[in-house]
Amino acid sequence: MGMRYEHIKTAILVVLVASSLIMTYHIWTYQPSYKIISKNQHLQEVEVSSKSKIEDHILPTEVLYHRNDNHYMSHDEDDVNKWVNEMKKWKFSNVTDVSDAISPDGFLNYVHGSNSIEVLYPDALPLKTFQQLFSFSQTSLPNQTFDRVLIKIKRTPSFFVSVYLVNYEQKKIYSVTVKNLAKDDIKELEDKMKRTYAPSFVYKENKNRYIFLPENNITMNSEVYYTSMRHLDIEKYKEALFNNPDYARKETSTNRDVYTEGTKVINVNTKTDVMEYVNLVNSTTEVMEDYNLINRSFSFVNDHGGWTESNYRFNSWNRITKEISYRYYKDNYPVYSNQGMTEIYQRWGNAEILNYRRPLYRFVRVQDSSVEKLQSSQKVIQLIEKHQNFDPNLLKDISIGYQLEEVSQQPKTGEKTVEFNSNSVKLVPSWFYYYNSKWYRIAPPTEGGDNDGLE
């Protein structure tokens, strides 16, 4: 009986060992049908809004016209777009550095000389980025940047047009050959510039640059907007920016929601509707070229449909710190806010996004509007120059824009309150100046009208 019992135990043990071996084999050799998820796949799968084209977000902001020692300027969107559309007909080639042909002392007079037209961008662009915006027959371009297109016209013995790309800060000038340039179109545009552009004068106290300002007083609309974030669901941003959004941890405090997934954090200011994404680890050693910073910054937002407003445009970048900013523009004027409410900001590592800050709301429609008269250019100069320890060589720009201000306003009776935040926003036309690498606002007279109103 004992022997029979031992045989049964042995048989059972053999069966168990065999089953274990079979199961182990299947575990080792089993290949699940899961797809490998790349670290960028979420950005391609989840869209907050529709896709955009890079040429819709990199645009000039101003056109200057110089004729017979008179100067004219325009920020009008239609005027700027006419020149963009004209340049889209051209085919550029033969980019050549001709800076040495012009003495440093003669640079300003050459660029702003009579019979010249300047199409200005808000910051310097790599030539390879410009190549994506317009037609080039030259495939290999130097690794240089420029911030304006300079068009020079000679009328004797015949109408002759030369085109240059200029880096104003570096005093670099590149000549370019342009095909498909229609002289009659240039003449027509030039004739309109004389008739419709605003007369301007030159501020020359900075020895390295001229600042052009309107001679006449400017009036602009101050507008109050309803804002909406109903369709800007933070869950979609979590899906776009996190690898495993379902495992993200949420913490809530006053006016703040924080989502954490590993080394990635999304911080939402629920009062201003501004989101900030931080990636604490730079995991790549890839080196990124300058033009790739602009390309990747645009594609990064585009991949998750983050261009929720077409009016967000390339505004500035820093090739050293790898920071780049796209700012909201209204009527071709920049809109500023001291809480990041009008800016899409990015900071990159070697080739990976480390910091991403952006508004979550949209401008829905105008609630109220009024006309405001801005202080004269001459008055603005006086206010700037009386600043303590003012150095004119640190003053690089004076321009008009809008200041975004929050307005505590509930929707009117009958409105669908679910669509609107409790705070509306107001865009206030204002003067701004760029001094010592920072933008400052000059407050309107109703707010004091002097430098005490600076941000």
Do 451 and 389 lie in one domain? The reply is: yes
Do 427 and 298 lie in one domain? The reply is: yes
Do 111 and 165 lie in one domain? The reply is: yes
Contact 328/312 with Cβ under 8 angstroms? yes
Do 151 and 199 lie in one domain? The reply is: yes
DSSP 264-309: EEEEEETTTTEEEEEE----------HHHHHHHHHHHHHHTT----
Q: What angle do CA 258, 364, 46 make, to 5 degrees?
A: 50
449 vs 227, higher pLDDT:
227
DSSP 228-249: E-TT--HHHHHHHH-SSGGG-E
Do 242 and 167 lie in one domain? The reply is: no
Is residue 455 very low, low, confident or very high in pLDDT (cuts 50, 70, 90)?
very low
Within a domain: residue 16?
Answer: no
Within a domain: residue 380?
Answer: yes
Distances (CA, A) of 315 to 275, 300, 326, 390, 421: 19, 16, 5, 26, 27
- How many other CB atoms are found less than 10 A from the CB of residue 377? 22
Q: Please check the confidence at residue 414 and state whether its pLDDT lies above 80.
A: no
Mean pLDDT of the chain: 86
Within a domain: residue 49?
Answer: no
Do 240 and 196 lie in one domain? The reply is: no
> What integer pLDDT is reported at residue 87 of this predicted model?
97
Q: What residue numbers bound the domain in which 275 lies? A: 217-455
411 vs 136, higher pLDDT:
136
Within a domain: residue 401?
Answer: yes
Sorted by sequence, the CB contacts under 8 Å of residue 10 that are 6+ apart come out as none
Distances (CA, A) of 383 to 166, 249, 362, 451, 453: 31, 50, 34, 6, 11
Distances (CA, A) of 403 to 74, 302, 333, 372: 20, 27, 10, 13
Within a domain: residue 160?
Answer: yes
Reported as type and span, the H/E element at residue 439 is strand 438-442
Q: Please check the confidence at residue 173 and state whether its pLDDT lies above 80.
A: yes
Lowest model confidence (mean pLDDT) among 59-68, 148-157, 203-212, 437-446: 437-446
Reported as type and span, the H/E element at residue 28 is helix 2-29
Radius of gyration of the chain (CA): 29
Do 189 and 231 lie in one domain? The reply is: no
Contact 59/39 with Cβ under 8 angstroms? no
DSSP 149-180: EEEEEE-SSS-EEEEEEEETTTTEEEEEEEES
d(CA 40, CA 300): 9
Is residue 348 very low, low, confident or very high in pLDDT (cuts 50, 70, 90)?
very high
313-341 tens-digit pLDDT: 999 999 999 999 999 999 999 999 988 99
Please give the average per-residue pLDDT across 413-437, as a whole number. Answer: 75
Q: Mapping DSSP to helix (H, G, I), strand (E, B) and coil, where does residue 31 land?
A: coil
Q: Please check the confidence at residue 129 and state whether its pLDDT lies above 50.
A: yes
Helices 183-196 and 77-87, packing angle to 10 deg:
170
Q: What percent of the chain has pLDDT over 90?
A: 67
| Cis amide linkage into residue 157, ω under 30° from 0 | yes
Do 201 and 221 lie in one domain? The reply is: no
Is residue 308 very low, low, confident or very high in pLDDT (cuts 50, 70, 90)?
confident
Lowest model confidence (mean pLDDT) among 91-105, 176-190, 275-289: 275-289
> What integer pLDDT is reported at residue 409 of this predicted model?
55
Closest CA to 335 of 227, 212, 205: 227
> What integer pLDDT is reported at residue 373 of this predicted model?
95
> What integer pLDDT is reported at residue 326 of this predicted model?
98
> What integer pLDDT is reported at residue 454 of this predicted model?
35
For the chain, the domain total comes to 2
Distances (CA, A) of 210 to 108, 113, 117: 7, 12, 15
Do 245 and 203 lie in one domain? The reply is: no
Q: What is the CATH number of the domain that holds 404?
A: 3.30.310.160
Within a domain: residue 120?
Answer: yes
> What integer pLDDT is reported at residue 289 of this predicted model?
76
Within a domain: residue 28?
Answer: no
Do 228 and 299 lie in one domain? The reply is: yes
Q: Which of 207, 235, 259 is the last residue of a domain?
A: 207
Q: Which of 165, 183, 207 is the last residue of a domain?
A: 207
Q: Which of 176, 207, 238 is the last residue of a domain?
A: 207
257-287 tens-digit pLDDT: 999 999 999 999 988 899 999 998 876 656 6
Please give the average per-residue pLDDT across 293-316, as a whole number. Answer: 93
240-259 tens-digit pLDDT: 899 999 999 999 999 999 99
Q: Please check the confidence at residue 171 and state whether its pLDDT lies above 60.
A: yes
Q: Mapping DSSP to helix (H, G, I), strand (E, B) and coil, where does residue 144 land?
A: coil
| Residues forming beta bridges with residue 334, ordered by sequence position | 329
Task: Give residue 175's identity as a one-letter amino acid code.
Answer: S
Please give the average per-residue pLDDT across 169-184, as a whole number. Answer: 96
Please give the average per-residue pLDDT across 433-455, as a whole number. Answer: 73
Within a domain: residue 446?
Answer: yes
Q: Please check the confidence at residue 421 and state whether its pLDDT lies above 60.
A: no
Where helices occur in 341-450 by DSSP H, the ranges are 377-385
Q: Please check the confidence at residue 9 and state whether its pLDDT lies above 60.
A: no
Reported as type and span, the H/E element at residue 127 is helix 127-133
Is residue 48 very low, low, confident or very high in pLDDT (cuts 50, 70, 90)?
low
DSSP 392-422: GGGEEEEEEEEEEEEEE-PPPTTS-GGGS-S
Do 179 and 305 lie in one domain? The reply is: no
Instruction: Count the helices and strands in the chain (H runs, E runs).
Output: 9, 24
Do 118 and 183 lie in one domain? The reply is: yes
Dihedral sign computed on CA atoms, order 331, 64, 319, 455: negative
